[in-house]
Structure 1
Amino acid sequence: MSKKRFYVLLAVLLIVTNVFTFFIANTVSVALPGGKVIVSREDYRLLNQYKKLFEVGKILESRYVDKVNPSTLLEGALKGMAGSLQDPYTVYMNKKEFAEFMTQTTGTYGGIGIIVAVDQEDHIVVVSPIKNTPGERAGIKSGDIILEVNGKKVSGKNLDEAVSMMRGPKGTQVTLTIMRDGKTFTKTITREIIKLETVFDYMLPDKIGYIKITLFDQSTSSDFKKALERLKKDGMKGLIIDLRDNPGGLLEECVNIADMLLPKGVIVTTKGRAESQEFYSKGTGLGMPLVVLVNKGSASASEILAGAIKDRKAGVLVGTTTFGKGLVQTVVNFGDGTGLKYTIARYYTPNGTDIQGKGIEPNYVVELPKDYTLKDTPDLKGDTQLIKAYEIIKSEIK
């Protein structure tokens, strides 16, 4: 073998060895005789960073006055870690909590049928009661502040616990202490099985279509598509979408509906430290006059849809300023029945507006009469916001 070839092979061998060593040192844990382990640099960094956590767990498990369940310590540590961020939408959920959380977007559950969020003062505030549920029938309204559940004080710091307490088997009761307009009162409500029907459609006079979306769950966009097709088949000339008291839901469902209504372009942008995304519409747009009804109970995904329609000038908004929840959550399923819900990004309307804590102001600000309660079906006699939307559509129909 020539010296040149020898040195080439030696260089290749050194390179391969170094790469292999780097890979082992940075990504692989290797067991050695005597119980010792070589760990990656990242694992070593994490072990040092959380060393005190392990030490506290070890002390409590072995020396606390009463016997301690290690899994209880672990759950407490995980909940504390998520809670330390002071973000009511970031929470570690045990098996019971995670199962209850998942029912909100996948089917039915026992409860009173209200959607809640946290305001700037850390109050638990009702975003909206769900249509045809005990909460709605009991007279709970958007904007009500829940102070106590079954006599226990609640706030944004224990949002998920409060939600869990409000849920329960059909036929059982829960008592809420509520503050509205500075006055405090209690309501005892009997729980029912909450079935989530999210899309309702009607044809108004002059062939003006009306679709109410109460929530964005896993079937909302397909149900909306069917409703839209029914109205078009019946000769619809303009469309009113009612997002009042809609607390939001699944981003994907909202984007799918926006794709049916907007011409090609941006629907929403999400920006976070870990990832950022832009969502686009790919269709040709609705092709007819469009008005969207909103109020202070319109939140999250509702604001994404309303903001996209307003910014893209695909239609106009009528009503009052929306809730102002511009945070995006994602869920990690650990595969053992537990999960982590955490805020991963903020979302921005097509014009780059961050609506967190501010909401979206409609093109036409219209208040409802002071003592008026929204009806289950469209009311063209007393619903001033719907009347205004109807007049706008009628004036634009050719």
Structure 2
Amino acid sequence: MKKNKILKILAVVLLILTTALITRILTVRTILGDASSYAKMNYLEDYVKENFLYNKEIKQKDLEAGKLKGLVAGLGDPYSEYLTKEELTSLNEQTSGKFQGIGVIISPNEDGTVTVVSPVKGSPAEEAGLESGDKILKIDGKDFNAEKINEASKAIRGKAGTEVKLLVLKSKNNETKEISVKRAEVKLDSVISDRIGDFGYIGVIMFDEETGSDFKVALDKLTNDGVKGIILDLRGDPGGVIDGAVEIGDAILPKGTFVTLKDNKDEIVTEYKLDENYNDINMVVLVNEGSASASEILAGAIKDLKRAPLVGQKTFGKGIVQTVSKFPGGDGIKLTTAEYFTPSGKSIHKIGIEPDYKVDLPEDIKGIGIDYKDTDTQLQKAIELLKENSNK
């Protein structure tokens, strides 16, 4: 009898607690009703400030940035984001070609991970073994995901000489590996050039504001030196400023359409045209899974216009364009505003571009490019094709 009485008392207490919880929820609903999003946002801000356990640590600027980031994040597009003043400055550094860090291009992946698009050639990241497709799970012991891409970028960067520890899920064997990388002053010389015997080699690392003009200088020099052909290496090139790709296209492609950009109404917003003046020297183009965005625009035009064969692996598959707008306060937004189409009208977004000659690299290869020509099977294939074309 006494036990039943205790159980009844507990039941009443639980009922009261449950009723109290429901009452609080109903109260919130009553207060808000069908209020506007603006009213809800104001209520949420006040509610958080009043009840958040660590409210003394709240910074108003972080709340304001969070609101704006949340709005853009609601689009579900990993390439669109609100940028704080610091983040926009960082983005501008990338396009200018100088920063301190490890030299790795990362992107939010649709699987929710922070994914390596490509390490910068010759950078600490490349020397440490980071490769396109690797997933960065932790930075200095802290978890990061696609939603925290800017925080991840900031955590990876740092003063030259300091070290950062990364927990990486390797794309080749799906195994985790901890990698320590020493930061350095990374100078993105976006174009490198050299000779391989009778042929010229031009590697485009990324597209920044100087890439187009630097490429034309390298191309003219090699042509005047009498090379019999050019190897254009776009492997590991994550893209960048589209104008650089257009300038290179204008230098090596015949008259026609280079790329077409269409907006959300399927209307053409920009169509880049090529004139009749171009260097028609024999050429082979190298691409891989790290070739993305602007480098894919260039590779797609080269393939569609049958200017040169593509050698390597299928490209990354980023066929959309982001526009960066700066606000008066120094912050801004990076928003996906257009999809691009190759000269034949193809969209390659989430598809990529297939090479004309698919060539695998040795599993134990230490690097790619002119310094590794003895083991770089893709580069070797490009040389072979140039020799064949030279003998015709």
TM-score (norm 2): 0.83
- Residue 310 of structure 2 aligns with which residue? 317
Whether 1:198 and 2:190 are equivalent positions in the alignment is yes
Give the deviation of 1:152 after TM superposition. Answer: 1.9
Select the residue among 208, 215, 222 that pairs with 1:224. 215
> CA, structure 1 residues 174+358, in 2 after alignment: closer, same or farther (shift >3 Å)?
same
Distance 1:52 1:387 in 2: 64
* Aligned 1:93-132 pairs, distance under 5 A: 93-132=83-122
* Aligned 1:215-364 pairs, distance under 5 A: 215-273=206-264, 276-364=269-357
Mark the runs of 5 or more structure 1 residues left unpaired by the alignment: 1-47
- Residue 43 of structure 2 aligns with which residue? 56
Select the residue among 55, 67, 71 that pairs with 1:77. 67
Give the deviation of 1:176 after TM superposition. Answer: 0.7
> CA, structure 1 residues 268+170, in 2 after alignment: closer, same or farther (shift >3 Å)?
same
Give the deviation of 1:61 after TM superposition. Answer: 9.1
Whether 1:382 and 2:375 are equivalent positions in the alignment is yes
Distance 1:174 1:58 in 2: 35
Distance 2:386 2:279 in 1: 14
Q: What whole-Å deviation, never above 9, does each CA across 1:344-375 have from its counterpart, x for those lacking one?
A: 11111111221111111001111112212334
Q: CA RMSD in A?
A: 2.2
Distance 2:40 2:100 in 1: 37
Contact 1:294–1:322 under 8 Å retained in 2: yes
Give the deviation of 1:273 after TM superposition. Answer: 2.1
Q: Which moved more, 1:307-316 or 1:383-392?
A: 383-392
- Residue 385 of structure 2 aligns with which residue? 392
Question: SS of the residue aligned with 1:161?
Answer: helix
Distance 1:129 1:108 in 2: 15
Q: Which moved more, 1:125-134 or 1:258-267?
A: 125-134
- Which amino acid is the alignment partner of residue 221 of structure 1? G
Distance 2:360 2:302 in 1: 21
Distance 1:56 1:290 in 2: 62
Question: SS of the residue aligned with 1:283?
Answer: coil
- Which amino acid is the alignment partner of residue 188 of structure 1? S
Give the deviation of 1:172 after TM superposition. Answer: 2.0
Question: SS of the residue aligned with 1:249?
Answer: coil
Mark the runs of 5 or more structure 2 residues left unpaired by the alignment: 1-34
What percent identity do the matched residue pairs reach? Answer: 42
Contact 1:57–1:73 under 8 Å retained in 2: no
Give the deviation of 1:189 after TM superposition. Answer: 1.5
Count of matched residue pairs: 350
Whether 1:212 and 2:199 are equivalent positions in the alignment is no
TM-score (norm 1): 0.82
> CA, structure 1 residues 216+168, in 2 after alignment: closer, same or farther (shift >3 Å)?
same
- Which amino acid is the alignment partner of residue 38 of structure 2? K
Give the deviation of 1:62 after TM superposition. Answer: 8.6
Q: Which moved more, 1:264-273 or 1:226-235?
A: 264-273
Give the deviation of 1:57 after TM superposition. Answer: 6.5
Give the deviation of 1:104 after TM superposition. Answer: 0.7
Give the deviation of 1:114 after TM superposition. Answer: 0.6
Question: SS of the residue aligned with 1:87?
Answer: coil
* Aligned 1:89-168 pairs, distance under 5 A: 89-168=79-158
